[in-house]
Amino acid sequence: MRDRTRYLYLAVIVAVLLGILVGFIWPDVGQALKPLGTGFVALIKMVIGPIIFCTIVLGIGSVRQAAQVGKVGGLALGYFIVMSTVALVIGLVVGNVIDPGSGLHLTDTARQAAEAEAAKGADASTVDFLLGIIPETVVSALTDGSVLQALLVALLAGFALQAMGPKGAPILRGVEHFQRLVFRILAMIMWAAPVGAFGAIAAVVGATGIEALKSLAIIMVAFYVTCVLFVGVVLGTVLWLVARINLWSLLKYLGREFLLILSTSSSETALPRLIAKMEHLGVSRTVAGITVPTGYSFNLDGTAIYLTMATLFIASATGAPLEFGEQVALLLFMMVASKGAAGVTGAGLATLAGGLQAHRPELVDGVGLIVGIDRFMSEARALTNFAGNAVATVLVGTWTGEFDRERAGLVLAGQAPFDEATLLDDDDDTGQGEPAKELSPA
């Protein structure tokens, strides 16, 4: 089965290349293929809620002391705040130094596109965001596609099962069996990845074209370089100092997930696989089940860099540069507004437009300048967010003593391969709820 899945991801690469070719040669055909990519992402999102629910319920319910869950969550949130702040500062520095928006001018088409995007994000408020975390029903949290709603219900269910003690054991076993079913469904869906990647890439290339990218090459390249430096220098250094894990070995281990994100521009498509792979790596179920879903809502390193650089780009292009105080105030607001939107394709653009509409309405027209390349920049956002969440999970596991470094060494060396068929370690007899340090390295 592992050989077959290897061919699957080779097929994804071929599909991406074919999609680019079709988009350039037959733009209209490429745009018509967009439903293929949309459908594939929809299939992935279909199982996100149940997977988050199962992993968090099992992670919390299997821990005897609620204090351990609070410790994991507190460390994770603290780390997310620090890293997001670092990413925001880096984006501000690079954006101010490069000043890529000078010399550009708005067009009527760009202005119309900006108005459309602003309408999507301008109506949301902090109160609406907080109330939106509460689902209408317990079941709707698993069906409405909201990561934060599923997270809330899973936390409540996990602590309730924890309080039930031994009486909750049968329910936990039932949730574990349901998790295996959902992961098996996900493995089946993944066979549609080449078709989804082909449609998504063909559509964006067909709609944008190479001419539209030339005038915006500076901001796009600068953003990609900034993301690479952030991941390689900042995250890589922290990961080595804390966990003594080589960043590039970890990224290689997650190579298939990065390829999936690259083809769909949505890190959400790889969320279930990240949870499974972190557990396989040696992180305990509790840490992986809490840190990964929480990170998808609060650990937005790539989005932070994007929002800072895009705002400075627009301000410069429209001839209305922001003062430093205005930069910090506006971008902190957008960071808060973006929580819960990680992994949703296009959410960064809507957040950017909504933030500008709320603070500097005269700059909203400038959003149209980056509409054409936002799809390409969203790939870097998603990849950076994903790398940040993977590193965060290992770090939190290390700080809480629930990361098995010996097992990680075996996994990263290729001696304990990940089961692509089930996404679960069926041969693990140590108990899913036990800390990773007690797992057998075999």
Task: Report which of 264, 282, 254, 220 is spatially closest to residue 389, judged by C-alpha positions.
Answer: 254
At a CB cut-off of 8 Å and minimum separation 6, what does 113 contact? 367, 368, 371
- The percentage of residues in the chain with a pLDDT greater than 90, rounded to a whole number, is 12
Identify residue 300 by its one-letter amino acid code: L
Q: Per mean pLDDT, which range of 137-146, 187-196, 334-343, 394-403 is the poorest?
A: 334-343
Residue 365 carries which DSSP code?
Answer: G
Whether 3 shows a pLDDT value over 50: the answer reads no
d(CA 53, CA 175): 9
Biggest distance spanned by C-alpha atoms of the chain: 68
d(CA 278, CA 429): 17
Residue in the block written with tokens 């061919």:
7
In a domain, 437, yes or no: no
Instruction: Select the more confidently predicted residue: 335 or 170.
Output: 170
Whether 113 shows a pLDDT value over 70: the answer reads no
Whether 54 shows a pLDDT value over 70: the answer reads yes
d(CA 263, CA 391): 22
Global model pTM greater than 0.75: no
Report whether 392 contacts 79 (CB < 8 A).
yes
d(CA 207, CA 193): 21
> Residue 241's domain spans which residues?
2-417+426-432
In a domain, 440, yes or no: no
Q: State pLDDT tens for residues 125-171.
A: 567 767 777 888 888 877 776 667 777 888 888 888 888 878 888 88
- Average pLDDT (178-188) is 82
d(CA 164, CA 275): 26
Report whether 277 contacts 394 (CB < 8 A).
no
Residue 233 carries which DSSP code?
Answer: I
- Which tokens go with 287? 């840490």
CA distances from 389 to 173, 254, 371, 392 (A): 28, 12, 27, 5
d(CA 12, CA 194): 4
- Average pLDDT (230-248) is 93
Whether 67 shows a pLDDT value over 70: the answer reads no
Q: What is the CATH number of the domain that holds 89?
A: 1.10.3860.10
C-alpha 137, offset from chain centre: 26
pLDDT at residue 124 in the model: 52
Instruction: Select the more confidently predicted residue: 189 or 283.
Output: 283
d(CA 417, CA 21): 34
Position 423 confidence tier, pLDDT thresholds 50, 70, 90: low
Position 398 confidence tier, pLDDT thresholds 50, 70, 90: very high
Residue 232 carries which DSSP code?
Answer: I
In a domain, 438, yes or no: no
CA distances from 164 to 108, 167, 393 (A): 62, 6, 28
- Which tokens go with 405? 């470094």
pLDDT at residue 63 in the model: 61
Instruction: Select the more confidently predicted residue: 220 or 210.
Output: 220
Handedness of CA 251, 257, 259, 262 (dihedral sign): negative
Mean pLDDT of the chain: 75
d(CA 54, CA 179): 6
In a domain, 377, yes or no: yes
Whether 121 shows a pLDDT value over 60: the answer reads no
pLDDT at residue 334 in the model: 63
pLDDT at residue 336 in the model: 61
The residues pairing with 283 across neighbouring beta strands, listed in sequence order, are 403
Q: What total of structural domains would you count in the chain? A: 1
